[in-house]
Amino acid sequence: MTKSVAVVLAAGKGTRMQSELPKVAVELLGKPLLVHVLDSLVQAGLGRIIIIVGYKQEVVRRITPAYPGVQIEFAEQKEQRGTADALLSARHALSGFSGQILVTCGDMPAIRPQTFQRLLCAGGEPGKEPYMALLSAKLAVPTGYGRIVRTAGAQVEAIVEEKDATPEIKSIEEVNAGTYVFPAPAIFEIMEQIGSNNAQKEYYLTDTVALSRQAGHTVNAVLMEDASEVLGVNSLVDLTVLAEKLAS
């Protein structure tokens, strides 16, 4: 496997969880959400993992277990300015690194190790095409997710967030799973072009797709075999749904 490092986005507060804990520290089946994600990354063969922390980072650091043979690091996102800003928080830690960066969210505990491996094999290697790869899923009710926009030739063209989507784009069933593989260090040059001219006024990691395409690169989407892996945790209801899925 190409040299790879994982970056886990875990800086958020999770205001809808009715808890003062960082969202990734909320427990699911007796284990913090973050630990479910870390377990899968380690099982997928990632030997270096950088966790992006912010809100109550001391809690996130405390719940993070040690894994034999795995290098765990932390990088701080000082302000909550979006997912692209979160990844840029790891730029210093990744100085001198050349290889694949797998970026995933610390509140998505259902992604299996095999799915991470499929994504790593799908692209995002330095100097090769496709330039980047992302996980997608098809949902009958895609409300709330960013939509995968493709060309007439089925090439991935862009990801449009729900709040920025037209009615036509909202009708698209293929959604973004918030998990990517990028080539390092090249991706940071693309990311310098990301702006915050959107409904949330944030710096979206999803903008890397359109910017990569504009630069003449290809983007690969890996459709998840089990769409329920895309499920994240944004509410107590989500927590109950995931508990039923993972316990079955």
Q: How far is CA 198 from CA 12, 84, 165, 207, in A?
A: 19, 13, 10, 11
Contact between 184 and 101 under an 8 Å Cβ cutoff? The reply is yes
Q: Which residue has the higher pLDDT, 61 or 234?
A: 61
Domain housing 40: 4-247
Mean pLDDT of the 142-155 span: 92
What DSSP state is assigned to residue 225?
Answer: S
What DSSP state is assigned to residue 183?
Answer: E
Element (H or E) spanning 72, and its range? strand 71-76
The 10 Å Cβ neighbour count of residue 227 is 16
Residues carrying an active site annotation: 16
CATH number for the domain that contains residue 199: 3.90.550.10
Residue 208: which of 198, 222, 219 has the closest Cα?
Answer: 219
pLDDT over 70 (residue 1): no
* Domain total of the chain: 1
Condensed to tens digits (0 to 9), the pLDDT of residues 6-29 reads 999 999 887 777 788 999 999 999
Residue 151: which of 97, 105, 213, 76 has the closest Cα?
Answer: 213
- The pLDDT score that the predictor gives to residue 172 is 97
Partners of 147 in the beta sheet? 160, 175
Whole-structure pTM value: 0.95
Helical packing angle, 33-43 and 113-121, nearest 10°: 50
